[in-house]
Amino acid sequence: MHHPGGGPCTTGRGAVRHRAGTAPGSRGGTSRGTGSTLGPMNNNRGAAARGRVTGLPDWDRCGVMGVVNVTPDSFSDGGRWFDTTAAVKRGLDLVAQGADLVDVGGESTRPGASRVDEEEELRRVVPVVRGLASEGVAVSVDTMRAAVAARAVEAGAVLVNDVSGGLADPGMIPAVAAAEVPFVVMHWRGFSEGMNSLAVYEDVLGEVTAELRARVDAVVSGGIAPERIVVDPGLGFAKNAEHDLALVARLPELRALGFPLLVAASRKRFLGRVLAGAADTAPPPARERDAATAAVSAIAAHQGAWAVRVHEVRATADAVRVARAVEGAL
């Protein structure tokens, strides 16, 4: 682990920046098998049911992962933080608004996006990770490249969030295993250029679950410890609005995989389609989907998600705290 040094400090609306060695003690774990890598998770609501991730703070509610896209072409905020100083400031603002983690990415994964080369991705990502980590922020790196993941961890990242679940780069799993950091395994069927053609399912929940299970088995076989794994159903990746809604409706069944669950619905196309209503009505722009995003955050938190990934933090930070308060009243 490459955490920045020092002790925890509180910032903004109660958010905590965790420095090296400050992951709080467990408030309840999850039963994961290490032979058959996927064990049943406690189905009770609350912190115990969410699971915990070795190497990360143990929250007593659904966590909030804020997004900083250091790209000129991301679907919702491309270009806004395409500068190291602006991106670091944005990350600090997200923490002040209630983010527990900040996810830094340098390559757009919107449908149809072309890839950037490795050197450019490194140039975009590493200085921002280093700048945020030096301020005590818990930083995640959003990358499909092993070299970027390794350099980001060296710069202070504490989590690798690979939308391909290690499929895009055969070096990713060994790199993460060697770094001993947590790893997000997302459901993924192919690169952005052709992902829409892959959105074909007979049973979306069954197929996503089976494909995630196979991917997690491969990741564990590659040396990443089960207690460091988070799964993500990959909303919007090779899925249409009907598929995404079906997965959100059945998050408890995805949690039965036995691993903490990350839900990343922020500003995605299925929310635009829901808000548009009629099929012939244009969906609102991505930046006008934040209230809908917060609604999904509340649903996900209530259904036991470990964390939600969002572009605008404030409303979601409130939503997950309300969901936790409701759980506590049961």
Q: Which of the residues are catalytic?
A: 268, 309
d(CA 51, CA 59): 10
DSSP-assigned letters across all residues of 76-115: TTTTTT-SHHHHHHHHHHHHHTT-SEEEEESS--STTPPP
101: left (phi over 0), alpha (psi -120 to 50) or beta: beta
User: DSSP character for 42?
Assistant: P
Helix or strand or coil: residue 9?
strand
The closest of 83, 129, 85 to 105, measured between CA atoms, is: 129
Q: What is the dihedral of CA 242, 260, 67, 157, to 10 degrees?
A: -150
d(CA 159, CA 116): 21
Please report where in the chains the tokens 């790199």 appear, as a residue: 175
